[in-house]
Structure 1
Amino acid sequence: MSSELGRICQVETRRWLWLIGLVFAFVLMAQYVELPYGNIISSVLPDGRTQVSEKSSPLPANLSSDTSKSGNTADLDNLNSTRTPLSNVQTDTAKSNEVKNLTQESDSSLVSNSASDNPSLTTKPEDNVVLTQENEILGDIPMSPSSASPVMSPTGVNLTTSAVISSGPSISPVSNEAQEKVHNTDGPGTSESINNSSVKKRPKSQEVPVLSVSEMNDMLKKIRASSSSTVPRWSSAVDQRLLDAKSQIESAPINKNDQGLYSPLYRNASMFRRSYELMEQTLKVYIYKEGKKPIFHHPPPVLAGIYASEGWFMKLLQENKQYVTKNPKEAHLFYLPFSSRTLEEALYVPDSHSRTNLIKYLDKYLDLIVAKYPFWNRTGGTDHFFVACHDWAPAETRIRFNNCIKALCNADIKEGFRLGKDVSLPETMVRSKKNPLRDLGGNAPRQRPILAFFAGQMHGYLRPLLLQQWQDKDPDIKIFKKLPKSKKNRVYTEYMKSSKYCLCPKGYEVNSPRVVEAIYFECVPVIISDNFVPPFFEILNWESFAVFIQEKDLPNLKNILLSISDRRYQILQQRVKQVQQHFLWHSQPIKYDIFHMILHSVWYNRVFQG
């Protein structure tokens, strides 16, 4: 009996041993092939922690790290993504394989392709933005890694400030070059990165691509063709006059003998001429009386320098009796008479890195206008306009003034400039208030021995590259950081007058006074500034008298210029002389000059909104 019981125990013991062996073998096999549920051994341990060998790690080899010194976690330092701190993300072993597949596809970001199954692994769309040091300045999001709670991935990887897991598109890393651009300064004590905390930078992945002038032309045509009328909240007699003007402009007969106008310079010379005539016959502008000097109603007394356009326009419009009306009910346009340059000089606190008080000041002014008058509310502000040349103007007016027609020197597509609505304001270097036409003109084409010329401050990233590549390296291309001082800047002037092509590279912003200077000195402008909308773009055919080179093509500058035939150059130069009339200030405005062209562009864009 006892021997039989012993045999039974031996059989049962063998069965248990076989069973345990099979289970262990199954576990080892599952561990080896790594089922979708991840690391089985680690999942059965108390808090999911285990030593994971480099061979069995679900991460690519280039992302593996020695975990023995870091609490069994790996820091993905080379995932240089958005620096967005993630918090309160719970470990979920069921998602480890998905994260593994995504990290193998890209070393720059982690995106969950099943975020809807696990809300804890998602971020809000408004959080899915590229961060630069600008956010640190504004206090939007802490930039120090120590300020963010450690975040663990399903595989136990430390993701703090390294990657973003989102249901939206992945975000490209912020390059050092891009960060440098954000923090370039423009003028003493100013910074391009200074911004209103309520206005966030567009995520890098959503930035507007570089548009050629031809593509801008096509875009403008599509906007004009698809634009719908702005319906005011209540009707007014001016609405019908605007509709009539639009109809007459669109049906303007082709006239090859447009007096004073050379057709190749314009998109449609006949439409421009008819629109200009209707402006002279019809347009009435109301200037709001509210606003304290010197920011409002007070053109800078100097009326010189690179920001002179806004001051000259304000002065000449306030003195004008043809277009200005004292009866706001008959006005087609309402002018907000402030100077963006004076606003900066009066209110910006040096080294404060904040424009908030400037924005609030303009907002309070607009609150006053809206409360006192009904005209803003009638159209939502679409028949209001302002003229501003300071680089900060787009950011200062981006929200409350967004429905206005904005006449801006900083006419940058990627910063929100709207083709067909906003006006590209010429940035003009006025050297003499008493004689704004001093030194006008230049040498004949045969008396211009220099192929290309540039001299100026090394603002932004592009100009130093220009200097590095061409300074003292080619006798045909004259590039200078500084020129010898001379009376009335004559050395600079003579270079402009003796050059075939005058280079107009962007600085911190897309606009440059050299565009108008080149025309002023009858030198063909070469615009090297991506997504810059040149002045009076809705009227002028810029490709007929200027050369456009994308920033990436800067190394090929000389070959591009030499590819232009001598005959073609002479045509361009003659057209520069013919278009010159539209870029000249006069103490007493004359037909087709820069004052009238600015006013006409505002009128023209208003007509085609109505």
Structure 2
Amino acid sequence: MAATTAILFLVLLASLSATSSSPYFSATTLFQNYQNMLTSFRIFIYTPTKPFNFPNPPASLFYSSLLRSPFVTQNPAEAHLFLVPFSPDTSTRSLARVIRELRNNHPYWNRTLGADHFFVSPAGIDYSSDRNVLELKKNSVQISVFPVVSGYFVPHKDVTLPPFSTSPLALLDGLEVNSTKTTSFLGYLNWDGMTEPNLVNELKGDVDFLVEEKSEPLNYMRSVTESKFCLFLYHGEVTWMVEAMALGCVPVVIVDRPIQDLPLMDILRWSEIALLVAVPRSGAKRLKEVLNGLSEEKYAEMRELCVAASKHLVWNEEPQPLDAFHMVMYQLWLRRHAVRYARREFG
């Protein structure tokens, strides 16, 4: 496993040109820590009060992959982190009962008030007046699905799961990335059609932009290859982001506030991979100025980086080295250090 990971990592780095920057904050640190994680990271999973499934694909894949992984230990004494499993439709009252039972029946929660615990909640949880749920929200690591509802995500503590591709990645085989590709459109938007924002209407009327509503996978992938930038409305449809990046279409996330919940934010330098554009009033005109203002050299570099970064955003039924599952595990590994209270407080 270590040899395979090393080869894949070197291939990823070699795929970048000598003059390109890296998509990682620190490639060396990532590789060294990743190897340590594979060999030593251990997680203890509490027994859920009742069987449940996650209907959300990335949450389901993460949870099932973790259950089958060598990271799980049956010995809580050797665990770095503890997973609190509960159904996504658990009520606040029931969730409070779960934490109260952990507090009363096990010694591990009280050592850190939950700081070395984590939980999976696709939509995230809000703050609560109940002490138990409040400790879970404030202290434990929340794993949810990108993007998260405003106020439900705590930066530098919580983690988001990369979006799950709804189309077979095998479709990418016939659509290879061209470093010198010519494009027909400045920007492309595969729109979910759930809302009708003014910006979408403006983009529809501009010949430099291609806007399609819920296009079929092969069709939108072809549109992606014909466009320089791929547009994503924050809290809109983002499931095709991985394919877009893999095909060298630089992602542009259109937002109305700062984004702090992008996937793998501890690992990837999103500022060098994607453009985050606030378009409150000036609309399509402002967006066009930003996109046209990017130099060809900078654009070429961003294309390389987003292709390289996409390799870490792919979900597999059987986890592969450096894929989305392992990168989420790596973010948990980075959060494994927690200050524990004196033994007398829980002994």
- Where on the TM-score scale, by shorter chain, does this alignment land: which range? 0.7 to 0.9
Counterpart of 2:169?
Answer: 437
Q: Which has the higher strand share?
A: 2
1:452 Cα deviation (Å)?
Answer: 0.7
Offset at residue 536 of structure 1 (A): 1.0
| Large movers: runs of 4+ above 6 Å | none
Letter of the aligned partner of 2:212 in structure 1?
Answer: F
> Is 1:283 matched with 2:41?
yes
- From the superposition, tell whether residues 458 and 505 of structure 1 become closer, same or farther in structure 2 (CA, over 3 Å): same
The answer on 1:551 being equivalent to 2:279 is yes
What letter corresponds to residue 438 of structure 1 in structure 2?
A
Matched ranges for 1:294-309 at <5 A: 294=52, 298-300=53-55, 307-309=56-58
Q: 1:404 to 1:550 in 2, by over 3 A?
A: same
| C-alpha contact 1:413 1:531 (8 A) present in aligned 2 | no
Could you tell which deviates more after superposition, 511-520 or 447-456? 511-520
Structure 1 counterpart of 2:159, one-letter code: V
Alignment counterpart, residue 532 of structure 1, candidates 259, 266, 269: 259
Asked if the contact 1:458/1:507 (under 8 Å) is kept, the reply is: no
Are the counterparts in 1 of residues 146 and 162 from structure 2 also a CA contact under 8 Å? no
Query: Contact (CA 8 Å) 2:59, 2:144: kept in 1 or not?
Result: no
The yes-or-no answer on 1:327 pairing with 2:58 is no
Matches within 5 A, 1:390-429: 390=123, 393-395=124-126, 399-402=134-137, 403-410=139-146, 415-429=151-165
After superposition, the Cα gap between the structure-2 partners of 1:573 and 1:446, relative to the gap in structure 1 and judged at 3 Å, is same
User: Aligned residue for 2:324?
Assistant: 594
TM-score (norm 2): 0.80
- Pairwise CA distance, 1:259: 3.1
The answer (yes or no) to whether the contact 2:248–2:303 under 8 Å persists in 1 is yes
**What secondary structure sits across from 1:439 in the alignment?**
helix
Distance of aligned partners of 1:545 and 1:608 in 2 relative to their CA distance in 1, 3 Å threshold = farther
Residue among 225, 232, 235 paired with 1:497: 225
Shift in alpha-carbon separation, 1:583–1:394, aligned structure 2, 3 A:
same
Aligned position for 1:292: 50
Mapped partners of 1:576, 1:334: distance in 2: 33
CA contact (8 A) 2:30 2:267 kept: yes
Which of 294, 314, 317 is residue 63 of structure 2 equivalent to? 314
What pairs with 1:19-38 in structure 2 (closer than 5 Å)? none
Superimposed CA distance per residue, residues 241-278 of structure 1 (whole angstroms, 9 cap, x where no aligned partner): xxxxxxxxxxxxxxxxx735546211122222222122
2:122 to 389, 401, 407: 389
Q: Contact 1:318–1:324 (CA<8 Å) still a contact in 2?
A: yes
Q: Does structure 2 conserve the Cα–Cα contact (< 8 Å) formed by 1:422 and 1:605?
A: no
- Partner SS, residue 467 of structure 1: helix
**1:526–1:546 contact (8 Å) kept in structure 2:** yes
For 1:190-269, list aligned pairs within 5 A.
Answer: 259-260=10-11, 262=13, 264-269=22-27
Helix, strand or coil at the partner of 2:22: helix
Per the TM alignment, residue 375 of structure 1 is displaced from its structure 2 partner at its CA by 0.9
Contact preservation (8 Å) 2:166, 2:240: no
Shift of 1:387: 2.6
| Corresponding residue of 1:452 | 187
Give the structure 1 partner of residue 109 of structure 2.
376
Q: Does the aligned pair in 1 maintain the 2:25–2:268 contact within 8 Å?
A: yes
Aligned residue number for residue 6 of structure 2: none
Q: Which of 8, 13, 30 does residue 272 from structure 1 map onto?
A: 30
Equivalent pairs, count: 313
Change beyond 3 A, Cα 1:400–1:608: closer
Q: Confirm whether residue 567 of structure 1 aligns to residue 297 of structure 2.
A: yes
Shift of 1:420: 2.0
What does residue 207 of structure 2 align with? 475
- Partner SS for 2:181: helix
Secondary structure of 1:417's counterpart equals coil
* Contact kept? 1:287, 1:324, Cα under 8 Å: yes
| Deviation at residue 525 of structure 1 after TM alignment | 0.6
Matched, 1:580 2:310: yes
Cα distance change, pair 518–339 in 1 and its aligned pair in 2 (3 A): farther
Q: 1:339 to 1:518 in 2, by over 3 A?
A: farther
Query: Secondary structure at 2:335's aligned position in 1?
Result: helix
How far apart, CA to CA, are the structure 2 residues paired with 1:554 and 1:601? 36
| Cα distance between partner residues in 2 of 1:315 and 1:289 | 14
Q: Could you say what secondary structure the match of 1:446 adopts?
A: coil
Which string of whole-angstrom CA distances, capped at 9 and with x for unpartnered residues, describes residues 392-417 of structure 1?
x2327872521111122255595152
Unaligned runs of 5+ in 1: 1-257, 301-306, 344-356
Partner residue in 1 for 2:238: 512
Assess if the C-alpha contact under 8 Å between 2:187 and 2:231 holds in 1: yes
Q: Gapped runs of 5+ residues in structure 2?
A: 1-8, 14-20, 341-347
Distance 1:491 1:261 in 2: 28
C-alpha separation in 2, matches of 1:328 and 1:608: 15
* Deviation by residue 1:408-436 (Cα, 9 ceiling, x = unmatched): 225559515222211132222334xxxx5
Distance of aligned partners of 1:505 and 1:550 in 2 relative to their CA distance in 1, 3 Å threshold = same
Per-residue CA deviation, residues 278-313 of structure 1 (Å, 9 max, x unaligned), is: 21122101111232122xxx354xxxxxx3110000
Instruction: Decide whether aligned partners of structure 1 residues 264 and 582 sit closer, same or farther in structure 2, where only a CA change above 3 A counts.
Output: same
In structure 2, relative to structure 1, the CA distance for the partners of 1:280 and 1:526 (3 Å cut) is same
Q: State percent identity of aligned pairs.
A: 27
Partner of 1:141: none
Of residues 330, 336, 361 in structure 1, which corresponds to 2:94? 361
State the partner residue of 1:522.
248
Aligned-partner residue type, residue 373 of structure 1: H
Supply the distance in 2 between the matched residues of 1:421 and 1:609 (Cα, whole angstroms). Answer: 14
State the AA in 2 paired with 1:525.
P
Distance in 1, matches of 2:94 and 2:149, equals 26
Question: Measured at CA, do residues 517 and 437 of structure 1 come closer, stay the same or move farther in structure 2, by a change above 3 Å?
Answer: closer
Task: Write the letter of the residue equivalent to 1:377.
Answer: N
Measure how far apart 1:546 and its partner are. Answer: 1.1
Pair 1:455–1:609, CA change in 2 (3 A): farther
Letter in 2 for 1:271: T
Correspondence list, 1:136-215, <5 A: none
User: What SS does the corresponding residue of 2:336 show, helix, strand or coil?
Assistant: helix
Residue 437 of structure 1: how far off its partner (Å): 3.1
Code of the residue aligned with 2:28 in structure 1: it is S
The Cα RMSD (Å) is: 2.7
2: CA distance, partners of 1:265 / 1:373: 42
Shift of 1:497: 3.2
